[in-house]
Amino acid sequence: MAVKRKSIAERKKSIGDAIKDINKAAGETIIGTLNDEEIAEKLVIDYIPTPSLKLNNAIGGGIPRSKFTLISGPEDVGKTMLALETIADNIKKDLDFVGAWCESENSLEESSIKMFGLTDKDLKERFIFMNVDDMPAEEVLDYVIRLAQSGVDMIVINSLKALTPEKEFTDSMEDNNVALQARLNAKFMRVIIPTIASSGTALVCVQHYTTNIGGYGDTKMIAGGRSIKYHNMLTLELKKGFIDAKHPLHAVKDQYLPVKVNITKNHCVTDRNVYVTTDYVVKIGKGIDTTQEIFEVVFDKGIVVKNGGWIREYEQGKEPVKGNERILEDGTKASWNGMAKFVDYVNTHPEYYKYLKNRVESSDIQAESLSEEEIETIKEQEKLELEELKELEAMIDDAMN
């Protein structure tokens, strides 16, 4: 016999009472309707911007808080520098920002930190460094969890692959410790994911490629086991780019490192194709060249127009013809005879640089989609990750029982 449903008024009261009881028992607001401000805030992803405007746009805003991000790729493509410059940039711009760096590869040097401007006492006070070369991985990951609980804004682990499980410190070289690190990482994921969700910390792991011996297809895979790829919300795969003869930096290409970024996983956005690729250039010894990105986008989007040797910005809504140039803050027209004069004006007028940057950030920069072949390969890898994760979870459960 069908149960007679109570009226909506009766059920609202009963549900409301249940919500109050649950929140009281939990000691905080963990349940509620979408009209409850605290609950609605939990559904909004906050981002920590990287120095690359194009990368931020392709991702959805930058490195997501309360989520786990992987930065992967082969050696010498700028993985570490992207993470380090992102922390440094935000420490300088936000007086409340605190970043932490867990170094297991002994690769971070003082010169890199100084290069990104962390020289003042206050700035250095908000950069936490932990060198863990000879610590067992279990101990290190416990410290990372504790840091996340403390409310650090962003934690970078460089890298999980280089962390050594305690058993490998004590066993002899001939002992077989198959998948020991992968099992450890899977266990770490089960603890750190809910921790950062609660603290608002952005966790970033820098990982290298390794060879999948006996595998088929692309034998290059991210080190550390498939579990870390399954649990992360964002995967950035970096590769070296190319500056061709048509590129405006071709004449000085030896001073730059072009970087191509394939976004192979992005569970932070639902309003766009998540499998996209973008790029940026790094000025060697300086960092990501944001100014170059601004120049590229303002011309691509028609914010600034090049006509013959002249460069002009027109009043929005007016016909792009001579005489309709926008009047700048210093009273001059947005009109320059030659690229050199335009570049010089942008570099010597911070207010105009900021204006162009804001226009770029608010514009719709279309990232290029990955190929159908690349997307299909990614989806096949995701299936394998899920299968391996189930096996690892079962092994961990057996060990804990």
Would you state the pLDDT for residue 400? Answer: 57
pTM as predicted: 0.86
Whether the pLDDT of residue 10 is over 80: the answer is yes
Would you state the pLDDT for residue 135? Answer: 86
Mean pLDDT of the region 339-360: 93
Would you state the pLDDT for residue 216? Answer: 46
Could you report how far apart the first and last alpha carbons of the chain are, in Å?
43
Would you state the pLDDT for residue 172? Answer: 54
Mean pLDDT of the region 323-343: 93
**Vertex 378 angle, CA 161 and 364, to 5°:** 105
Would you state the pLDDT for residue 174? Answer: 53
Could you tell me what percent of the chain has a pLDDT over 90? 64
Whether the pLDDT of residue 20 is over 70: the answer is yes
CA–CA distance, 279 with 368 (Å, rounded to integer): 10
Would you state the pLDDT for residue 220? Answer: 55
Whether the pLDDT of residue 314 is over 90: the answer is yes
Would you state the pLDDT for residue 217? Answer: 46
Would you state the pLDDT for residue 213? Answer: 44
Mean pLDDT of the region 16-31: 95
pLDDT digit string, tens, across residues 250-308: 888 899 999 999 999 999 998 889 999 999 999 999 999 999 999 999 999 999 999 88
pLDDT digit string, tens, across residues 183-235: 788 888 889 999 999 999 999 999 986 555 444 444 455 555 566 777 899 99
Would you state the pLDDT for residue 208? Answer: 81
Would you state the pLDDT for residue 398? Answer: 65
Q: Which of 135-139, 150-154, 289-293 has the lowest mean pLDDT?
A: 135-139
Q: How confident is the model at residue 380 (pLDDT cuts 50, 70, 90)?
A: confident
Whether the pLDDT of residue 386 is over 90: the answer is no
Would you state the pLDDT for residue 183? Answer: 78
Whether the pLDDT of residue 132 is over 90: the answer is no
Q: Which of 111-125, 319-333, 347-361, 382-396 has the lowest mean pLDDT?
A: 382-396
Q: Which of 119-123, 129-133, 235-239, 387-391 has the lowest mean pLDDT?
A: 387-391
Would you state the pLDDT for residue 337? Answer: 94
Could you tell me what percent of the chain has a pLDDT over 70? 88
Q: Which two tokens stand for residue 366?
A: 């279309």
Q: Which amino acid is at 11?
A: R
Whether the pLDDT of residue 95 is over 90: the answer is yes
Average pLDDT over the chain, rounded to an integer: 88
